Amino acid sequence: MTTPRTVTIDASVLAAIALAANEAYPNEGCGALLGELVAGGAHVSRTLPIPNSEAGTPRVRFAVAPRDYLAVEREADRLGARLLGFWHSHPDHPALPSGTDRAYAWEGLLTVIVSVRNGESAEIGAFEILGAEEPFTALGILESGSLVPVTRLSPHALV
């Protein structure tokens, strides 16, 4: 399987992620990332919302219920798309993976993290693991059609 090195994300998807992360605040929000593998990376053309099933501490972690995982896989199949990974938000924490994120990361799936500061989406980062025992590797994020790296989600994207 091709290993994504750069994640290209459609502007509409970046806006949808920012909005969903803001709405989930002060809890963690999460969603699925759908699209396709392309030369040198992955192209995310759609995000699907996923309810945060972590009942105990939704402010500091998220969990994807098996039925929700199956639902997004089915929806990806229906759309002829690939499930590329998941995004989740870090309320008032950096867009860097936690130990828990590493423990739950799956090889071959992207981990995208959005930092939400005082209810506004801010930094965004993309990570992957290249093996079951490997640490996270950071990936570059580009908005489709642009060569400028995306490191923040601007509130203007929500207009």
Given the rule CB under 5 A, which residues bind Zn ion? Answer: 98, 101
Nearest CB to Zn ion, comparing residues 101 and 143:
101
- With b for 16 or more beta-carbon neighbours within 10 A and e for fewer, the 35-71 pattern comes to beeeeebbbbbbbbbbebebeeebbebbbbeeebeee
Q: Please tell me the total number of residues recorded for the chain in this structure.
A: 159
Q: How far is the CB of 22 from Zn ion (least distance, A)?
A: 17
Q: How far is the CB of 101 from Zn ion (least distance, A)?
A: 4
Nearest CB to Zn ion, comparing residues 16 and 28:
28
Instruction: Name the residue whose CB lies closest to Zn ion.
Output: 101
Q: How far is the CB of 47 from Zn ion (least distance, A)?
A: 17
Nearest CB to Zn ion, comparing residues 101 and 123:
101
Nearest CB to Zn ion, comparing residues 73 and 101:
101
Q: How far is the CB of 28 from Zn ion (least distance, A)?
A: 7
d(CA 49, CA 89) in angstroms, rounded, equals 12
- 3-state class (DSSP) for residue 74: helix
151's CB contacts (< 8 A; 6+ apart) are: 123, 124, 125, 141
